[in-house]
């Protein structure tokens, strides 16, 4: 294979893209290190970065308008409320098989273990009875989640689907990348970035309000852009503040995120935990639910991470199937991040 690589320039963002799909990033900022395989879906997604940041049209069908209006009209309940998103990407070559199963499991967990009223739990999924997880629908649902939040509220955002990374040219990220989640229509409407999520559900949190985000997707370690990340190896909090100095905190509340893996890693769909060996589900979602249902009395944050890690090690020994077309040699450990430092030995409560 020739070592000579041809490069073409994207007229929209002035980035250089090699003919093998890898980017040669050129900008006035320090170059981000874009690490990617030279084969497989990464090339496909790299190219998508150049055309999915801006929606093609603001025109919505009558059905789409009606769906958005129904989300806006969800009752803003006091106390506990949750938005659960499962994206299967049906009829796409990167389809996921376990996400619908994941959101149903999470709904059951919130109701049975944490007394969330069924009326306060809303699901976005590619199922007939629920709004589909399009970019607009997810964004509107997130706005509902934090609307008129008050002291004592416990809010949950759950996402099971694909996640990606894109270069950050504004010195906003320590690793040089923005993390994203992929709505079902991300190829045309665009991804939802960590900056978007932070602005929408972290910044508005008032004093006395707690948000938990449970994100089962690739590259999700700092998907909320929270300023503190817990190291299970060092057993201490690490500073994840933005190099640019931009404020990424709350308005007095507390945001906590538990993610499937670090920013440079991929998550997994697996059948390793299934009794029949056929049911696909998110590895992070399964281990999260198992830890919370098995531990009596209630598990601490540190205990939750340890239990999830233990089950992941067991899955590695059994073997597993990885999420969609994304290939890695091992399952990853969960990541805990927070808008402020707190004692990880305190009980996990939603």
Instruction: Give one DSSP letter per residue of 86-138, joined into a string.
Output: E---TTSTT--SSHHHHHHHHHHHHHHHH---GGGEEEEESSTTS----HHHH
What lies within 8 Å, CB to CB, of 162 at 6+ separation is 87, 89, 94, 96, 181, 182, 186, 217, 218, 323, 324
Residues 85, 130, 212, 218: which is the catalytic one? 218
What lies within 8 Å, CB to CB, of 311 at 6+ separation is 273, 286, 287, 290, 291
**Catalytic site includes residue 10:** no
Environment class of residue 115 by beta-carbon count within 10 Å: exposed (0-12), middle (13-18) or buried (19+)?
A: exposed
**Which of these, 144, 145, 124, lies nearest to 133 by C-alpha position?**
124
How far is the first Cα of the chain from the last one, in angstroms, to the nearest whole number?
54
**Catalytic site includes residue 162:** yes
pLDDT tens for the chain, residues 1 to 350 = 433 333 333 333 333 333 333 444 443 334 343 333 333 444 455 455 544 455 555 788 999 999 999 999 999 989 999 999 999 999 998 899 889 999 999 999 999 999 999 999 999 999 988 999 999 999 999 999 999 999 999 999 999 999 999 999 988 899 999 999 999 999 999 999 999 999 999 999 999 999 999 999 999 999 999 999 999 999 999 999 999 999 999 999 999 999 989 888 877 665 555 555 555 667 889 899 999 988 667 899 999 999 998 988 877 776 554 443 343 334 578 999 999 999 999 999 99
Environment class of residue 295 by beta-carbon count within 10 Å: exposed (0-12), middle (13-18) or buried (19+)?
A: middle
Q: Where are the alpha helices (DSSP H) in 123-200?
A: 135-146, 186-189, 194-197
Cis bond before residue 115 (omega within 30° of 0): no
pLDDT of residue 280: 62
pLDDT of residue 120: 97
Residues 42, 130, 132, 162: which is the catalytic one? 162
pLDDT of residue 325: 36
pLDDT of residue 37: 36
């Amino acid at each position: 294979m020739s070592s000579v690589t041809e490069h073409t320039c994207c007229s929209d963002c002035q980035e250089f893209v090699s003919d093998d799909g890898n980017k040669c990033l050129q900008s006035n900022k320090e170059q981000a290190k874009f690490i990617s395989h030279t084969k497989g879906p990464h090339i496909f997604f790299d190219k998508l970065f150049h055309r999915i940041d801006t929606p093609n049209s603001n025109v919505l069908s009558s059905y789409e308008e009606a769906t958005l209006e129904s989300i806006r009209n969800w009752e803003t309940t006091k106390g506990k409320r949750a938005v659960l998103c499962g994206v299967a990407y049906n009829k796409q070559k990167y389809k996921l098989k376990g996400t619908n199963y994941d959101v149903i499991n999470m709904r059951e967990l919130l109701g049975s273990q944490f007394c969330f009223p069924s009326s306060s739990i809303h699901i976005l999924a590619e199922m007939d009875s629920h709004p589909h997880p399009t970019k607009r629908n997810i964004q509107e649902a997130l706005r509902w989640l934090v609307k008129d939040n008050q002291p004592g509220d416990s809010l949950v955002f759950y996402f099971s689907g694909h996640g990606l990374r894109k270069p950050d040219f504004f010195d906003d990220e320590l690793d040089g990348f923005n993390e994203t989640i992929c709505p079902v229509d991300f190829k045309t409407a665009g991804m939802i970035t960590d900056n978007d999520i932070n602005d929408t559900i972290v910044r508005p949190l008032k004093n006395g309000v707690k948000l938990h985000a449970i994100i089962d997707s690739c590259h999700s370690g700092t998907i909320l852009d929270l300023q503190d990340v817990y190291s299970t190896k060092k057993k201490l909090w690490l500073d994840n503040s933005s190099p640019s100095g931009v404020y990424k905190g709350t308005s007095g509340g507390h945001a906590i995120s538990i993610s499937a893996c670090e920013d440079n890693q991929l998550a997994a769909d697996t059948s390793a935990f299934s009794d029949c060996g056929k049911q696909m589900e998110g590895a992070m979602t399964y281990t999260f639910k198992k830890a919370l249902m098995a531990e009596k009395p209630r598990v601490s944050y540190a205990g939750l991470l340890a239990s999830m890690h233990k089950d992941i090690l067991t899955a590695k020994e059994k073997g597993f199937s990885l999420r969609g077309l994304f290939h890695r040699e091992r399952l990853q450990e969960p990541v805990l991040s927070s808008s402020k430092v707190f004692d990880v030995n305190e009980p996990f409560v939603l």
